[in-house]
Structure 1
Amino acid sequence: MGETNARGRVELTHEDVHAGERGTRGRCLPEPWMCNVFYLDGSLRDIRVLDTTRVEWIAVLEHLRVVADETEVVHSYPRLDPVRPAVADLFRVWADEPEGQESSFCFRARFGAVWFRAWPAFEEEIEFSVWPEDVLDGAGVAAVLRFLVEVATTSQRRALLTAEVVLYDPGLPTLISHDPASGLTSHI
Structure 2
Amino acid sequence: MNWEHLARTVYYRDGSLRDIFVFNTNRDDWAKWAKLVNSEYSVEYKYYDTDKTETAIDIANVFAVWDGLSEQYARASINVGGCIVNCFFFIEDELDNDIAPKEIHTIEGHNTLMHYLLQVSTLLQKPVVLTPELTPEEILLMAVNGQIQYPKVSP
Q: Bin the TM-score by the shorter chain.
A: 0.7 to 0.9
Match of 1:10 in 2: none
> Contact 2:34–2:59 (CA<8 Å) still a contact in 1?
no
Q: Say how many residue pairs are matched.
A: 149
Match of 2:18 in 1: 45
Unaligned runs of 5+ in 2: none
Within 5 Å, give how 1:158-177 maps onto structure 2.
158-165=127-134, 168=136, 172-177=137-142
Q: Which has the larger radius of gyration?
A: 1
> Contact 2:22–2:128 (CA<8 Å) still a contact in 1?
yes
**TM-score relative to the length of structure 1:** 0.71
Assess, with a 3 A threshold, how the Cα gap between structure 1 residues 85 and 67 changes in structure 2: closer, same or farther. closer
Looking at structure 1, the residues matched to 139 and 126 of structure 2 have their Cα atoms a distance apart, in angstroms, of 15
Question: Residue type of the partner of 1:61?
Answer: A
Within 5 Å, give how 1:1-188 maps onto structure 2.
28=3, 32-36=4-8, 37-68=10-41, 70-76=42-48, 82-84=53-55, 87-100=58-71, 104-165=73-134, 168=136, 172-179=137-144, 182-188=145-151
- Which ranges of 4 or more aligned residues in structure 1 deviate by more than 4 Å? none
Assess, with a 3 A threshold, how the Cα gap between structure 1 residues 99 and 90 changes in structure 2: closer, same or farther. closer
Deviation of the 1:85 alpha carbon: 5.9
Q: Percent identity?
A: 20
Question: Residue type of the partner of 1:47?
Answer: I
Q: CA RMSD in A?
A: 2.2
Question: Residue type of the partner of 1:130?
Answer: I
> Contact 2:85–2:98 (CA<8 Å) still a contact in 1?
yes
Looking at structure 2, the residues matched to 41 and 71 of structure 1 have their Cα atoms a distance apart, in angstroms, of 27
**TM-score relative to the length of structure 2:** 0.85
Question: Residue type of the partner of 1:163?
Answer: P
Unaligned runs of 5+ in 1: 2-25
Looking at structure 2, the residues matched to 142 and 149 of structure 1 have their Cα atoms a distance apart, in angstroms, of 10
Deviation of the 1:77 alpha carbon: 7.2
